[in-house]
Amino acid sequence: MEIPSLDSILNDPAVLAGLAKDVLMARAADAGAVHAALRAAAAVAPMPLLADADDLRLLNAEEVAALLGTVKAEVYEMARRGLIGHVSTGIGSRGVRFTRRQVADFIKSREKNGS
């Protein structure tokens, strides 16, 4: 039996029926590696300059955590310590929001040159 590609699994999950556990685990490992590579690329991808209405939408801590590859508690702590710019909506500690520009500035501030 031919081992289905990740693309074929995405298009038709039924192709997994009847495959051995070791084959399924190998495909899961492949998918995990792709996931890690995509997250790493997203973490360093340039943020677009403010240009349209979507750029003005405030991000919550969970969305910022996904962009940075961390958890929202860490995002709240970074905001509390002044490490990442934020907007306070005045609704307690959970009323903290972030602009895309603030997230991009934070990433830029954390870049290290390998010299």
Number of domains in the chain: 2
Q: Is residue 115 part of a domain?
A: no
| Domain that includes residue 10, residue range | 6-44
Q: Is residue 91 part of a domain?
A: yes
Same domain, 17 and 60: no
CATH no. for residue 71?
1.10.10
Same domain, 105 and 58: yes
Distances in whole angstroms, Cα of residue 106 to Cα of each of 23, 59, 83, 86 = 41, 14, 7, 10
Percentage of the chain exceeding pLDDT 70: 86
Q: Which two tokens stand for residue 50?
A: 């403010």
pLDDT digits (tens, 9 = 90+) for 24-37: 998 899 888 888 88
Q: Is residue 1 part of a domain?
A: no
Chain-centroid distance of CA 51 in Å reads: 21
Q: How confident is the model at residue 1 (pLDDT cuts 50, 70, 90)?
A: low
Tell me which DSSP letter residue 90 carries. S
- The reported pTM is 0.51
CB-CB contact of 40 with 34 (8 Å)? no
